[in-house]
């Protein structure tokens, strides 16, 4: 009798941990979704082997103080995220301990935050028209692995969903070489992230040098 009660108690604990009768097999996912929220960003500068306006870009990390052609430089943010799985009703959250071990899985998580503001400033003058501390966002464009998505200001104006990766490049050649850039990203939930990039020396374009 005591052994039977012990087994029953263990079974109840297991069912409770898995959501009891609310457990949903990962192959029966209708009504469930996965999402992520951004808790922080990591920043870095990258050096492409070609101007970023071309379709294909390969990069190596641009080290602090490294002199690189200005149109080969990308500024990159990688988000630190928290993932969740839930029902489509906001007041009920149900999780599966076994979902990742099964053949079926949820679709890729979607962001629950939107971008409302991005600004980029330098500790040095970028040009005579843009002295130190000026917002350089109108001189910045957004790009992906194999595409250029357009001007940063237009991108932000659409209040796009927050991304796990954000990559930016310059569209105007600087007059002054050395810069330490600081980016500020604001999300619709009130989150504000301020990140510094390593000091860079932005040299004339290789095409210009030729």
User: How many helices (DSSP H) and strands (DSSP E) are in the chain?
Assistant: 3, 13
Distance, in Å, from the CA atom of 147 to the CA atom of 166, rounded to the nearest integer, reads 13
**Using an 8 Å Cβ cutoff, are 185 and 196 in contact?**
no
Integer Rg of the chain from CA: 24
The pLDDT of residue 56 is 53
User: How far is 118 from 135, CA to CA, in rounded Å?
Assistant: 9
Q: Which residue has the tokens 């209708």?
A: 30
CA distance 209 to 200: 19
pLDDT per residue rounded down to tens, the chain (210 residues): 544 444 444 444 444 444 444 444 454 555 566 788 999 999 999 988 888 876 555 666 776 777 899 999 999 999 998 887 665 555 444 444 333 434 456 567 788 899 999 999 999 999 999 999 999 999 999 988 677 788 999 999 999 999 899 999 999 999 999 999 999 999 999 999 999 999 999 999 865 544
* pLDDT at residue number 86: 64
Question: Which residues face 15 on adjacent strands?
Answer: none
Query: Given this model, what pLDDT does residue 21 score?
Result: 42
Distances (CA, A) of 125 to 30, 41, 78, 174, 195: 54, 25, 26, 9, 19
pLDDT for position 133: 98
Q: If you search the block for the tokens 């966002």, which residue do you land on?
A: 137
pTM, two decimal places? 0.72
**Three-state secondary structure call for residue 167:** strand
In this predicted structure, what is the pLDDT of residue 157? Answer: 94
Question: Quick one: pLDDT at residue 182?
Answer: 98
Res 66: pLDDT: 78
Domain boundaries of the chain, sorted by first residue? 44-78+110-209
Q: What is the pLDDT of residue 83?
A: 80
Count CA within 13 A, CB hemisphere, residue 43: 17
> Which of 187, 180, 172 lies closest to 201, judged by CA?
180
Q: What is the pLDDT of residue 104?
A: 56
8 A C-beta contact, residue 44 and residue 59: no
Pairing of strands 32-48, 110-111: parallel
Name the CATH architecture for the domain at 44-78+110-209.
Sandwich (2.60)
Residue with tokens 């490294």: 66
Residues 176 and 165: their CA atoms lie apart, in Å, by 28
């Amino acid at each position: 009798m005591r052994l039977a009660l012990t087994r029953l108690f263990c079974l109840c604990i297991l069912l409770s941990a898995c959501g009891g009768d609310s457990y949903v097999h990962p192959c029966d996912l209708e009504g469930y979704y996965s999402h992520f929220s951004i808790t922080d960003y990591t920043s870095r500068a990258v050096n492409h082997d070609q101007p970023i306006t071309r379709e294909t870009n390969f990069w190596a990390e641009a080290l602090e103080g490294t002199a690189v052609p200005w149109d080969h430089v990308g500024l990159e943010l990688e988000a630190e995220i928290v993932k969740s799985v839930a029902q489509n009703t906001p007041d009920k959250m149900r999780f599966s301990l076994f979902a990742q071990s099964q053949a079926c899985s949820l679709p890729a998580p979607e962001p629950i935050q939107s971008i409302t503001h991005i600004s980029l400033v330098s500790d040095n003058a970028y040009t005579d028209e843009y002295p130190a501390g000026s917002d350089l966002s109108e001189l910045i464009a957004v790009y992906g692995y194999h595409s250029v998505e357009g001007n940063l200001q237009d991108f932000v104006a659409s209040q796009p969903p927050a991304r796990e990766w954000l990559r930016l490049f310059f569209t105007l050649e600087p007059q002054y070489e050395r810069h330490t850039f600081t980016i500020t990203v604001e999300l619709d939930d009130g989150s504000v992230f301020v990140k510094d990039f390593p000091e860079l020396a932005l040299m004339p374009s290789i095409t210009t040098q030729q």
